[in-house]
Amino acid sequence: MQFPAQQQPDYPEPASVRYIQQQLQASPPLVPASEIQSLTGALKQVSDGQGFILQCGDCAEAFDQCREDVFSAWIDTVSQMTALLRCGLSQPVLKIGRIAGQYAKPRSSPDEVCNGISLPSYRGDIVNGHGFSVAERTPDPQRMLGAYHRAAVTLNALRNNSAGLSSESTATDSVFDPFYVSHEALLLPYDSALTRLNPADNQWYNGSAHTVWLGDRTSEPSQAHVEYLRGIANPVGIKCGPSMTAEKLGKLLQRLNPHNKPGKIMLIVRLGVAHIREKLPLLLQAVAGLNSPVIWLTDPMHGNTRSTVSGLKTRDFGTVCEEVRLFMQILRAQGVHPGGLHLEMTGRDVTECTGGLQKITDDDVGERYESLCDPRLNRSQSAELAGLTGQF
């Protein structure tokens, strides 16, 4: 049976895609099944109200940012955020990076027009280049190998600079200690090629990340991304935007977690301040009726994007904070554990989001705008938000 697959690039030579997939299938998985199982154990604790998730990183990782200084800044910032959250919430904090694989991005349009010229949209460095030329924008399957090797370098940097991600860990090590990694399961040729059968439990694992999430644009229950995700043992996130209905969410939970296993599903709410008061209670009621042990996270970034007068996308720090506050308030009012934050951020001193202690204005946004897609919180804003979350 064929399942329609949304948001996939139109590769000019399908035979080349199959060849690259064969090379990936012959390569070692980036993360072992044992680490994925450790993350599932940690998520079970969060599901029981005994922990909080910090899932954060780039909107879309760029190949040229695979550098030691970028890794160090990210690790330092996430470590600082973790300490602030742990102190404010009095709970252990589980660190999951949008890193070592977040190279693909869904797009609202397959094409981009500039000066009357139409070219394929930039879909992330794993697919094509950001430069506006035919050569750059033509999808190239060879880039999947580039993504694999850079993900391996990134994971190596995390292992060298943090306590954890060690496949030699003992039972006495806390499952909350490591940096785990995640990305949107968007480019199916890549994710499927790195999926392996684990003989120890006869389960299939996506060996490209510890956990992956289902995006808003690929979440139709009868289509290819859901069909792929229901076959793997990794924990799975589901992005829940304003278009998510109780009926659709129920179908997704039945397909992705039919046995209601705790630690399997994270619901990543990306409603925006304008919709969260109205829509989040409806989703909470739907899940309560299914008796499904999900973990609720807030993504306060995607629903609050706007453009400056100059046309740059930005997000207001105050609006982001307000959505986090409302998320925590609404869940607690219904007796549900707020499970975590899902943020687009960087350890670098960019000026992509307005506000915060630095008082970045619209006029400042273009000074240090490095993101290839969506605006990210900078180092100072990330730490400030972590500190405030502990007070909400």
State yes or no: 344 annotated in a binding site: yes
Has 325 been labeled as part of a binding site? Answer: no
What's the rounded Cα separation, in Å, for the pair 177 and 162?
9
Q: Is 98 labelled as part of a ligand binding site?
A: yes
Task: Confirm whether residue 137 is marked as ligand binding.
Answer: no
Length of the chain: 392
Do residues 23 and 311 lie in contact, with contact meaning Cβ atoms separated by under 8 Å? no
Q: What is the CA radius of gyration of the chain?
A: 20
Calpha distance 175→94 (Å, rounded): 8
Q: What residue spans of 237-272 are helical by DSSP H?
A: 246-256
CB-based contact 353:313 (threshold 8 Å): no
Give bridge partners of residue 141 from the DSSP assignment: none
Residue 58 · residue 183 · CB < 8 Å: no
Question: What's the Cα-to-Cα distance from 278 to each of 96, 272, 281, 326, rounded to whole Å?
Answer: 29, 11, 7, 11
Q: Judge whether 93 and 54 are in contact, CB under 8 Å.
A: yes
140 annotated to bind ligand: no
Question: Residue 383 and residue 345: Cα distance in Å, rounded?
Answer: 10
Is 374 a known ligand-binding residue?
yes
- Give the Cα separation of 292 and 254 in Å (integer): 9
Are the beta carbons of 124 and 103 closer than 8 angstroms? yes
* Residue 362 assigned as binding residue: no
In the block, tokens 């012959």 appear at 26
Q: How far is CA 311 from CA 83, 131, 357, in A?
A: 36, 18, 24
Is the Cα torsion angle 103, 109, 115, 117 positive or negative in sign? positive
Q: Which residues are annotated as a binding site for phosphoenolpyruvate?
A: 98, 239, 270
Q: Which residues are annotated as a binding site?
A: 59, 98, 239, 270, 302, 344, 374
Q: Which residues are annotated as a binding site for Mn(2+)?
A: 59, 302, 344, 374
